[in-house]
Each structure stands twice: as structure tokens, then as C-alpha cells.
A and B are shown apart, each in its own frame.
Chain A
């Protein structure tokens, strides 16, 4: 290619890029000032690309539904009509990108954050939000470490892994009657944390951990680790991780002729898992914090509203919805969207969410969470039982 032509192209590209960015700025300025109403930005962070994009989009839609409803009814804070705008960011489920995205939201002066989806991303990001004094409610981060940092800005509306792991470990030994347990996790804060708790609980209940193997949250080939697990003759394989790995894992488990049962946490208990694992999903057991959607106080109504707009619910959408509703509720109580003012209301919040009663303990964990166990029967997640628990404290 000759020189002058290149230069011309470069100039063109630069001009277009510049005019595009100018457009973007104009639009942003407009939302703030026009109709006399105040715009309040709420951040939402989840993986919107990559293997967990379906879950990320689910959270995004849940939060969006909440803000749309709030905008439709209209909220007045400090005498001014408020319009809530959701600023959704993609952290790719990557802890490094999570902090970059957190800084971006802080720069855009969001009043609060719904997210992140994963524990591994919520934990590093929570430090940034804490330093900026911005309240954060995660719909789905369940790692114990998330609320154990002593931050007054860090909340979650889902039961943590301590309790979930305890229930899973006990259930494996006592109810499923398995003794030789192999544990695999994806080395994320969530997968590792949950697997550790399952290991402890299963040992305490009298089970033996025959193998502990690891994978990553981007893998699809588990034949090598499953083969080495096979040699230890487990009667149960527990996977601490997400559906995109859980589904091929259970397929490969069956193709190797391993007869062990398969158990997973909430990362596996999704609609996507059923789709990906298809016939191999049959008989898989998994837990999820909270009540089954249809037993939630507002579950049926939520399902109707959500599916009409966005289609099938993956997993955490009701929690993202509740997180958004809770943030706005605290703002209403404080009559302000200033983080410094409404933050004080969050510990005192007491409201009926679609997922159940929402109230926080001194760490920011939800009070009185439940854990529900599901099993795949005829291609559907059927509820086995719901275990009620305390606040899941150490």
C-alpha cells in the first residue's frame, strides 16, 4: 500500500472517530439537564461477553426491569423528579477488568452499583467502591470473603457460600448417601470458596475426599482430570464452578463411564446447564441460594413480567432486580441519591423483595437466607428441598 493513501485513510478514520465521540458527549449532556428532572446513574456490572455472558445479560435485564418500573411510577428525591439510568459494564468475569470497570463507573459518578456477578470480580471491585464511598449490592457474589473485608459499602442479597457449602457437603453424605467424594473447582474466588466449604462439611459428616482437582473457568476439556479421578473410584463428583464448564464436565464424566453422581452449586443450577448438558443433565443435583422462583413471594409475578420482556430467566435476574429495588428504596428513605446520605439507610433497610425479605446484618450479608436443592428430572430442575438457615456466619 502506498503512503499517501494510508494517510488519507488514517485521517478519515480519525475524523469519524472524533465526530462519533462528540455525538456521545452531546447525548450524555442532554440527559442531565433537559426536562428539569435529575438523572441518577446506577451501575450494573456482570460479564456481558464470554462464557458467562448469558448470566451477565440476565443480571443486566433484572436490574433494567427494576429501574424501568421505578421510572414508570416516578420517584421524587429532595423535591426533584428523578430519572434512573442503568449504566451497564462488562467485566468479562475477569478480576483485573473488574477494577478497571469499577473506576470507570466511579468516574461516571454512579450513585450505586448492582454487581458484580462473580465473587472473583466483586471482591477486588468492592475496594474501589469503598474508597469512593459508593454503595454496592451484589446480586450473586456468594464468596465469604466478599463481605468479610469490613467495608460499609458492601452488601449482597444472596446467601453466602459458607452456608451453601455446608448444606451441599452434608446433603452429599447424609441424603445422597455417598462416601467417596471427588471435588473439582475452577480456581475462582467463588468455585474455590464453595469447594472448600463442601470439603469441610462432607468430611465433618463422615465422608472421604478421594480427589481434589482443579480446572479454569474457560476450559472445555476435563477428560484428563476426570480420568485421574476415575482411578480413585468416587461415588460423587462435586464441581465448584459455572454451567459452561459443568455441562461438558458431566458429559465427559458419562463418556468415560464413571458411575458417580454429579453435584454442583448455584453456578450449575441454571437453564443454560440443561440446554448444554441435554440428556446428560438427568439426575444431576445442584443447590441455589434462596427459594425456588415459584416459592418466592413475588416469584410468579416476576417471571411473567421478565419473560414477557426478555425471555427465559437464567438464574440471578430476580436478585439483580431486588438489588436495584433495594438501592432505590434506601435513596427514597434518605430522600437523596447522594451515596454519603443514603448509605446510612442501607443497614436499616427492611423490605419485601421478590426473592424474600431483604434486610442486612452488620457485615452486609442478607439475614435468614435459605438454600434450595434441585435435581434434574425429565430435563427440568425439580425442587428436592429447601433448607432454611441463619445468616451464614462463621
Chain B
């Protein structure tokens, strides 16, 4: 039983990170019907910027509490990623907004490759370690262990997601975003500046991605230039699982995917009698993606949309 609890904890922490990244995919899809494949790379940039700032602080020999240095790193990561999100939309997607959707999709993949290589040029090809700035505290209950970092990741993710839901459901900006998602042209006629709303969507997604990137690198203790690829793919799966375009769906999908992966990797060996090993962990994410696409293409919380392409 304690093992099951532990696997659930592992899964929920991983899942809340997936959920944060998945929100970026789903928000952009909701408004533009574009799968922003560069989103995973924005997450990677968040981690890298944070580590660069932390490294600079460590190099300057400033005597500060570890948490404050990480906070600075996080803020810098958010700032840079927000800029990055804005520029990506402006340079890569806006000129193609009226182009066939396939063109935008290919551009997204292109942007992702460009960002990955850019990061490789700036920070090199090797793994960068997250310095042990945050003292790790373990809490044990019923045989399972949870660390302060895991608790922090889950709480912060929940707060961010709740904040985002409030923003979208309760504020003028949120209403403008929903209107733009429903019908861009009509929203424009109603006096909504569609371009600003789209830019803001990218910016909010990028900020969440930056935070997720910092969380991942702090959680696993390392970052590297292609970490965004797999993370992005998993988050995309989570978004599809929950119903792409649906905010609550992305959250649910992320958490579910994390738990499925964790339980899957933990029990597959025993369940299949050693036929399939735990190295099939990543396969679960994509197996789930295929299942969802076959059985319920609109996702768990998605609504059926008439195919427009």
C-alpha cells in the first residue's frame, strides 16, 4: 500500500508539471487551432535561463539564501520566456495566420528546432546541473516519502492553475480571450484587439512554461538543451487526453498522464511477468494518446467540434 501511495505521489508531482506545460498548448490551440510545437522548447529555455542566472549569482560569490537566488532565477526565466513567447508569435506565426494550417504547423516544428539549436550553441551540449541551493526535507507518512520540493511543486501548480481559471472565467481579459477563441473576426468587430489577445495568450503560456521548466530542472537536478522535446510531447499528449482547447481538460490530462506513467512504469514488470520492462515508461504516454484518439478523439473534457479543415 505504501508503494502505491508513493507511486501516486510521484505521478501527481510529474503530472502537475505536465499540466502546466499542457496549458500552453491548449490555450494556443483554443485560440488559433495551432499546435505550438515550440512550446516544449520555451520550457527548456526557462530552465536554462534560471540555471544561467543561478550560475552567475554563484560566480559573484554573493551571500544570499538559496531560495532567494532561485527566485531571481525564476523571475529572469519568466521574463525571458515571456519575451520569447511574444517574439515567436510575432515572427513565426502571425505572418502565417491566414495560411493553410499545415504551413503554421511546419513552422512550429521549425521554430522548435531553431530554439533547440540556439540553446545548444549558447549553453553547450552537456547536462547542466541544478546546484543544491534548496535544502531537501523529507516527510514520511505511512511508508511513503514526500519532499518539500514535491509539495512546493504541487501547491504552486495548483495555485497557478486556479489563477488561470479565474483569469479566464472571471475577468474582462478572460472574456476577450474566450470571445477570440470562438470567433476571431466577430471578436474583432466587438472591439477586441485580436492581435493583443493572441500575443497575451502566448505570453501567459510562456510564463507558465518558464515556471514548469524551472520546476523540472530543480526536481531532477539537471537541464539540457533537448529536455523540452520529450516534455513538450508528453504535455501535448496530456492536452489531447484532456481535450485540446479545454483549460480544465489540460489540467486533468496532465495529472492523469503523470499518474498513468508512474503506475505503469512501477507495475508493468510484475503485471506482464517481466515480458515488458519499466523502460516502456514513455510508451504509456503515447499509448494513451492513441487510445484517446481512437475512442474519444475530442478528449475527456473536450466538446465535439465540427471538422473545419
Give the Cβ gap from A97 to chain B, nearest Cβ, in Å.
15
Distance A48 CA – B230 CA, assembled complex (angstroms): 20
Which of B63-71, B157-165, B204-212, B262-270 lies at the interface? Answer: B262-270
Determine whether B171 belongs to the interface, using a CB cutoff of 8 Å to chain A: no
The answer to whether the Cβ of B173 comes within 8 Å of any Cβ in the partner chain is no
Task: Indicate if the CB atoms of A257 and B138 lie closer than 8 Å.
Answer: yes
A51 pairs with B132, CB closer than 8 A: no
Listed stretches A274-282, A337-345, A346-354; interface member:
A274-282
* A247 with B125: CB separation less than 8 A: no
Known contacts A51-B224, A227-B6; is-contact A257 B140 (Cβ 8 Å)? yes
| Closest partner residue, chain B, to A186 (CB atom) | B279
* Docked-complex contact B262 and A223, CB < 8 angstroms: yes
Chain B hits for A256, CB < 8 A = 6, 145
Q: How far is the CB of A61 from chain B (nearest CB, A)?
A: 14
Say yes or no: is B226 at the interface (Cβ < 8 Å to chain A). Answer: yes
Tell me how far the C-beta of A74 lies from the nearest C-beta in chain B, rounded to whole angstroms: 34
| Partner among A48, A54, A215, A251 whose Cβ is within 8 Å of the Cβ of B221 | A251
Given known A248-B220, A255-B138, A276-B127, contact A223–B10 (CB-CB < 8 A): yes
Task: Let me know if B281 and A215 touch, CB within 8 A.
Answer: yes
Contact B279 A279, beta carbon cutoff 8 Å: no
Q: Which residues from A are CB-within-8-Å of B220?
A: 220-221, 248, 251-252
| Residues A224 and B261 in contact in the complex (CB < 8 Å), given A1-B95, A215-B279, A230-B6 | yes
Given known A-B contacts A49-B125, A255-B136, A248 and B145 have beta carbons under 8 A apart:
no
Q: Is B126 at the interface (CB under 8 A from chain A)? A: yes
Q: Is B222 an interface residue (CB 8 A)?
A: yes
In the assembled complex, how far is the CB of residue A291 from the closest CB belonging to chain B, in whole angstroms? 26
Contact B3 A227, beta carbon cutoff 8 Å: yes
Question: In the complex the two chains form, is B221's CB within 8 Å of A228's CB?
Answer: no
Set A54, A57, A224, A252: member contacting B262, Cβ < 8 A: A224
- In the bound complex, residues from chain A placing their C-beta under 8 Å from that of B10 are 223-224, 227
- Let me know if A225 and B131 touch, CB within 8 A: no
Which A residues are in CB contact (< 8 Å) with B227? 220
The answer to the question of B120 belonging to the interface, with a C-beta cut-off of 8 Å to chain A, is yes
Kindly list chain A residues whose C-beta atoms are within 8 Å of the C-beta of B6.
227, 230, 256
- A218 within 8 A of partner (CB): yes
Q: Which residues B125-164 have CB closer than 8 A to chain A?
A: 125-127, 129, 131-132, 136, 138, 140, 145, 147
**CB atoms of A228 and B230 under 8 A apart:** no
Asked whether, in the complex, the Cβ of A215 is within 8 Å of the Cβ of B278, the reply is: yes
Q: Given A49-B125, A214-B278, A214-B279, does the pair A225, B266 have CB atoms closer than 8 Å?
A: yes
Q: How far is the CB of B129 from chain A (nearest CB, A)?
A: 5
B226 partner residues in chain A, CB cutoff 8 A: 50
Bound complex: CA of A369 vs CA of B95, how far in Å? 63
Asked if A187 CB lies within 8 Å of chain B CBs, one says: yes
Q: Given A1-B95, A255-B147, verify A224-B125 contact (CB < 8 Å).
A: no
Q: How far is the CA of A49 from the CA of B120 in the complex (A)?
A: 9
Listed residue (A48, A255, A278) with the most chain B CB atoms within 10 angstroms of its CB: A255
> Hey, which chain B residues are within 8 Å of A251, CB to CB?
220-221
Interface residue? B99 (CB, 8 A): yes
Specify which chain A residues have a CB less than 8 angstroms from the CB of B185 in the assembled complex: none
**Which positions in A face B, CB cutoff 8 Å?**
1, 48-51, 53-54, 57, 186-187, 212-216, 218-221, 223-225, 227-228, 230-231, 244, 247-248, 251-252, 255-257, 272, 275-279
Cross-chain pairs A/B with CB under 8 angstroms, 6 sampled:
A54-B125, A212-B274, A215-B278, A227-B6, A277-B221, A278-B221
Chain A to chain B: the 3 pairs with minimum beta-carbon distance, closest first: A53-B125, A224-B265, A214-B277
